[in-house]
Structure 1
Amino acid sequence: MTTRPFGSRLLGAPEQSGAMLRWRVQVLLTASLVLANLIGAIVVVALIILVIPGPTVFTGGLSVLSIVLVPVYVGSAVLIGIVWGTARALRTLRWAFERREPHERDRRATLSVPWRLTRMQGVLWLIAAVLFSTISVLTNPDAVFKVAFTVSFGGIVVCANSYMLSEFALRPFAARALSSGPPLQRRMVSRVSIRIMLAWALGSGIPVAGLMVVALFSLVRDDVSSVQLAIAVLALGAVTLLFGFLLVVFLARATVAPVHTVRLALSKVERGALETEIVVFDGTELGLLQSGFNRMVAGLRERERIRDLFGRHVGREVAGQAVQRQPELGGEVREVGVLFVDVVGSTALAAERPPGEVVTLLNRFFDVVVDEVHACGGLVNKFEGDAALAVFGAPADVDDPAGSALASARAMGRRLTNEVSECTAGIGVAFGSAVAGNVGAESRFEYTVIGDPVNEAARLTDLSKEVPGRIVASATAVDNSDAAEADRWRVLDEEHTLRGRNETTRLAVPAS
């Protein structure tokens, strides 16, 4: 996908310069028109000489037509097509050479360039059919049908090849037109069915029609021998096999190329590479598929960005539950461990330091807090100035909410002492039943935890500021933790009546 962004190395890279793009399209369009007319001329010669029975065109007045006028007209038509057709195409595509954003008019005109080139070729070959048929009527009336038929068939071949080849050559411009804004209306875009019909017409329709014409000649004319009939059938059969195969290959490549880019890009997105974007180069419904893929991935990137911001604001666990199920007001009673941490002397800290320095210090402080809470499976539910409230056991279940809160407090205390020595903090841990859920109004609410353990943890934090080590937990939290964590704490003998509570609380501190 990176080496062939437009499905072929001949078309270059999306970031090629305007001058290189102009040179490339000039060469490719010229080669396309020459090749289309060359194929048409070969078809005409083959039909006249080998396939269509009837009088030869190399006798009488038609010899001049065949030997002199036909090559002169074909050469002139090709030259006119190259000069006139490519000049009009280059004027239409000027916005791309100048690296301008195309207007809707530019986009419409760009996608219609292959059709305009095809119509131009059709007009030139229609003139040839009328001119040569008229000359044939005047010089050899018996050959008029043969001349008209072969030139008309040649024109059909040229038009079909001109469309398919010019559409291929103009993929880089279709890419810029289709990727510069919302997808165009379907009526403005060439359809895949047109490609299929053209491939059918060139690979099957025209040769089979030629066989039918040969059969018709054989029925109405007495001078058609079995040898002529056999030669005509063999020639058209060979053309059908050869060109039919080549056209199907060309059609398959043109159809598979955009699908292939989407498939490769999808595999990258599945691996998490949401920055993936493909070049939209196809002017059919497949181009809309490519454009739709880019819009889909852009939507995924936006959704992931919003989800990341949402998770940063409310916590990953809360965001995950909100995505999985419709959030609603109300809560449920959960057994939770609660950790509250608060900076000691924050008022003096703010008075002594510039505001920017205070914010930087608090961010370093909260980095440690969030890291240790998440490491133990908790949720930082609130940031309150220079303090934070963390919950273990809501909204996500934790095997040992009390033990997780206690382990987080110990690790947090060590890291804050070593990594944020400019400030000190008190840490309080409590455990009990609380109501966890969404509180607020239908139009604006937040996830929070309300209950006695929350109040107790806040009061323990106030008390911890006067205790060596500045970490205090309730004995209830230690009693409800697993044995391994409980052994790391020492329950004190004295009991305290915390501010705002009637019952006494037994305290515990880290054992070492």
Structure 2
Amino acid sequence: MAHLLSIAEVLIVVITLHGHTPDSPYFSTSYVTTAVVLSLLSTLGVLAGGLVLISRSLRWFVRGDVPTPAQRLGALNIIRDQSLLLGAAWATGGLAFALIERGGAGIALAAALSIVLGGAAATGTGVLFSQRTIRPIIAAATRGFDGYLTAPGVLSRLINMWLLSSGLPSLVIAALIVFRSNGWLIPTTASVELPVLVLSLVAVMLGWRGMALVSRSIADPIREVVDAMAEIEHGQIGTLVDVYERSEIGRLQSGFNRMVTGLQERDRLNDLFGRYVGTDVARRAVQDGAAFSGEVTEAAILFVDLADSTRLTTSRPPQEVADVLNGFFRIVVGAVDERGGLINKFQGDAALAVFGVPLRSRGAASAALATARALAIRLRDLPEVDFGIGVSAGSVFAGNIGAENRYEYTVIGDAVNEAARLADLAKSADQRVLSSAAATDRADEAERRQWVSHSSEVLRGRSEVTPILAPGPAESDTLRA
């Protein structure tokens, strides 16, 4: 199409000059006929050559095959080979015209101007036309490969457009005036107003076409990046764009893909980090960085521990023990997450959950007590598993513990030790759940009514008596209600 458009524009100029100077021997009917015939022959040659060039890549592209190195190189060179084909067609046609007509220096100059004007317009327009058409092939050929199609940059495209639409037509107009002044192609008495008008119209056509194609060659890949950004904004983090040229546009595309790869890596790290320390801790650490050093605050602690885990490990293969523990912890994690708690750590066959840190919560104690009651019901469905759950509350240190290059988020305080002692004691209690009065005193009225006094004991490592409560039976709840 680029070749035909350029031929039409050059023939318009030739025919106009022929009609405007009928007495000139340089623009006889024979010359115009020869030009038309050579144009048709060159068009057939360009069509055949273009089919050969694209068919090499279409064979593997249509089948969806991975291109061989030779096929990849052929796809990358389509634009170059096309430009060479168009340039050769115009050079051959111009040379043949000059040899057939033998009109002397005048015909030689006319043929040279036609080659320069038409060849430049055809090759430049052809590049802009083909860039968009063969992008899928180039993208498939360069996928997983560092080599990209060399393409003119934005500035080069704009300069080429100016040369096609303004520079060359202006040069031809200047040449017409010089030729008429010297009587080379146009008699000195002839008027050049009509040829100048025609060339101006050709320049307008070239300018419109060049502007449309250049703007599209820039806007299309940018639009692809914008659309991909919108998809990422809506959660499709793995969206990439094809990279098919080495220019400012190609650098934008490859830079966008590197950014997406970085986002994916960061998302994977955040997800992995969140799985180990909890999503709230991960989010807080990302936001605060090293400033997330810790604080002393009120929190509720839930400690759950398997009973007689030694018997479990000695009576079953390691894989079965791991499956039992995973099933046990899956229930624990689900119940804690439901009420906004955080599994701070797994300790062998035990788990420590905290409520109220790192995100402050006024109902931390109530959430911990409700979680303990729900766990007691759910864990009883596990076969051959016994457990104990302890709940406490109080002032704790919650934050990072460790060296500068290796932190662990944890909670430290008497409430943590108390919850662990109560969990051990609960293994022999009927309900398998015990709480200190420190936790129930901080709970709301509705949750406190779910607990009744169990006993008062001196826990291991303590010197004072700790009031202990347990979930009340349903009948007691009904009477209290």
TM-score of Structure 1 vs Structure 2, range by shorter chain = 0.7 to 0.9
Determine if the alignment matches structure 1 residue 497 to structure 2 residue 458.
yes
Q: 1:461 matched to which residue of 2?
A: 423
Q: 2:479 matched to which residue of 1?
A: none
SS at match of 1:481: coil
Q: RMSD of the alignment, in Å?
A: 3.3
Deviates more, 1:459-468 or 1:327-336: 327-336
Shift of 1:496: 0.6
Distance in 2, Cα, partners of 1:245 & 1:329? 60
Shift of 1:436: 2.0
Distance 1:329 1:480, change over 3 A: closer
Match of 1:507 among 453, 468, 477: 468
Identity of aligned residues (%): 36
Determine if the alignment matches structure 1 residue 396 to structure 2 residue 362.
no
Q: Structure 2: any 5+ residue segments left out of the alignment?
A: 474-481
Could you tell me whether the CA contact under 8 Å between 1:339 and 1:430 is conserved in 2? yes
Distance 1:101 1:295, change over 3 A: farther
Match of 1:440 among 368, 390, 402: 402
Determine if the alignment matches structure 1 residue 291 to structure 2 residue 254.
yes
Determine if the alignment matches structure 1 residue 125 to structure 2 residue 86.
no
Distance in 2, Cα, partners of 1:84 & 1:197? 28
Q: 2:478 matched to which residue of 1?
A: none
Could you tell me whether the CA contact under 8 Å between 2:26 and 2:106 is conserved in 1? no
Output the amino acid matched with 1:168.
Answer: R
SS at match of 1:326: helix
Determine if the alignment matches structure 1 residue 48 to structure 2 residue 14.
yes
Output the amino acid matched with 1:369.
Answer: V
Determine if the alignment matches structure 1 residue 371 to structure 2 residue 337.
no
Distance 1:332 1:168, change over 3 A: closer
Deviates more, 1:336-345 or 1:205-214: 205-214
Output the amino acid matched with 2:271.
Answer: D
Distance in 1, Cα, partners of 2:294 & 2:129? 66
Residues 66-93 of structure 1 show CA distances to partners (whole Å, capped at 9, x for unaligned) of 434x455445544555555654666688
Match of 1:164 among 110, 116, 128: 128
Residues 117-158 of structure 1 show CA distances to partners (whole Å, capped at 9, x for unaligned) of 21343244234444544666x535455433432343222222
Shift of 1:244: 2.6
Q: Structure 1: any 5+ residue segments left out of the alignment?
A: 1-34
Match of 1:478 among 432, 436, 440: 440
Distance 1:306 1:504, change over 3 A: same
Determine if the alignment matches structure 1 residue 334 to structure 2 residue 297.
yes
Determine if the alignment matches structure 1 residue 316 to structure 2 residue 279.
yes
Output the amino acid matched with 1:463.
Answer: L
Could you tell me whether the CA contact under 8 Å between 2:305 and 2:350 is conserved in 1? yes
Distance in 2, Cα, partners of 1:57 & 1:291? 60
Deviates more, 1:78-87 or 1:114-123: 78-87
Output the amino acid matched with 1:121.
Answer: L
Q: Which structure has the higher relative contact order (CA within 8 Å, separation 6+)?
A: 1
Distance in 2, Cα, partners of 1:457 & 1:60? 107
Shift of 1:257: 1.6
Shift of 1:256: 1.8
Could you tell me whether the CA contact under 8 Å between 1:337 and 1:430 is conserved in 2? yes
Could you tell me whether the CA contact under 8 Å between 1:372 and 1:412 is conserved in 2? yes
Output the amino acid matched with 2:86.
Answer: Q
What aligned pairs does 1:220-299 form with structure 2 within 5 A after superposition?
A: 220=182, 223=187, 228-281=191-244, 284-299=247-262
Shift of 1:338: 0.9
Q: 2:162 matched to which residue of 1?
A: 200
Could you tell me whether the CA contact under 8 Å between 1:183 and 1:291 is conserved in 2? no
Distance in 2, Cα, partners of 1:60 & 1:274? 66
Distance 1:271 1:329, change over 3 A: closer
Could you tell me whether the CA contact under 8 Å between 2:451 and 2:471 is conserved in 1? yes
Residues 332-388 of structure 1 show CA distances to partners (whole Å, capped at 9, x for unaligned) of 322221110012232233344444333333222212211221222221111122210
Distance in 1, Cα, partners of 2:417 & 2:106? 110
SS at match of 1:431: strand
Shift of 1:258: 1.4
Residues 253-273 of structure 1 show CA distances to partners (whole Å, capped at 9, x for unaligned) of 222221222212211111111
Q: 1:362 matched to which residue of 2?
A: 325
TM-score calculated relative to the size of structure 1: 0.80
Determine if the alignment matches structure 1 residue 116 to structure 2 residue 81.
yes
Could you tell me whether the CA contact under 8 Å between 1:57 and 1:63 is conserved in 2? no
Shift of 1:311: 0.6
Could you tell me whether the CA contact under 8 Å between 2:285 and 2:292 is conserved in 1? no
Match of 2:344 among 375, 381, 388: 381
